[in-house]
Chain A
C-alpha cells in the first residue's frame, strides 16, 4: 500500500493554470477510474473536488478538472484564485480492496 506520488509543491499566479500529477501503479490508478481529488485549506477538513477521475461534485467550480493517462492522474486548476491556495490530495481505489492517498501537494498562489 505505497502512497501515490505527488509533487510536494506547485505554484502559480492569479489567472494562470496549474496541474498537479498523481502517479500510481497498474494496481490502482492504472486499473481503476476510481480516482478522487481533495482540497484541504490549513486547519480544515478535506473537501472532495473531483471523483471518478474527472467528475465534479455540485458546487465545485468548473475551473477544476481531472484526467488520467495510464498510471498517472492529473488535477488542473485554471484561472487560479487566491482562495485556491491549499493542500491537494489524490486518492485511488486499489486491487487489494483498499484505498490509497497521495502524499499531498501544497499549492501556492503567488
Chain B
C-alpha cells in the first residue's frame, strides 16, 4: 500500500532554513505529482506547493513563493521541500501527499516545523 514518510522537521530560528524530505513507497512514484500541505497548530489546512510527476512544473502558494522550493529525486522516490527565510508563521505540521485526480489522495503522517528564537 501507499506509504509516505516525512522527515527533517525541527526547531529553527527566524530567518533560518530547513529541508524536509518525503520518502514514498507502494506506488509508481514516477507517475504521480506530489503536494506539500501544512497545518499550523490548531488551524486549518493550507496548500503549500505541488510538483508534477517528472519535475517539469512546480507551483506555489503566494505565502511561500520565493522562499520555498519543491524538488524530487525519482531515483530515490523522494520529494523535498527546501524552506528558506523562515518566519514564525511558517510554524506548522507539514504533510506530503500523493496527487491523484487533482486531489491529495494519500497523506503522510506529517513532520513538525517550529520557527522560534
Residues of A near any B CB (own CB < 8 A):
1, 3, 32, 34, 36, 38, 40, 45-48, 51-52, 55, 57, 87, 89, 91, 93, 97-104
Contacts and interface: CB of A to CB of B under 8 A. Distances in A.
A102 B44 contact: yes
Query: 3 tightest CB-CB pairs across the interface, nearest first?
Result: A36-B103, A34-B102, A104-B44
Contacts of A101: 37, 44-47
Interface stretch (B16-24, B81-89, B107-115): B107-115
Given A3-B44, A101-B47, A45 B107 contact: yes
Interface residues of B, number: 24
Interface in B29-53: 35, 37, 44-47, 50
Nearest to B108: A45
B101 A98 contact: no
A98 B107 CA distance: 18
A89 B63 CA distance: 20
B47 A91 contact: yes
Given A3-B44, A97-B59, A103-B44, A46 B102 contact: no
A45 B95 CA distance: 8
A1 B44 contact: no
Given A45-B107, A46-B95, A89-B45, 11 more contacts: A1-B63, A47-B107, A48-B104, A51-B100, A52-B103, A91-B103, A98-B59, A98-B61, A101-B46, A102-B44, A103-B44
A89 to B, nearest CB: 5
Nearest to A37: B103
A36 B104 contact: yes
B102 A52 contact: yes
8 contacts: A36-B103, A45-B108, A48-B107, A91-B45, A91-B47, A98-B59, A98-B61, A104-B45
A57 B105 CA distance: 8
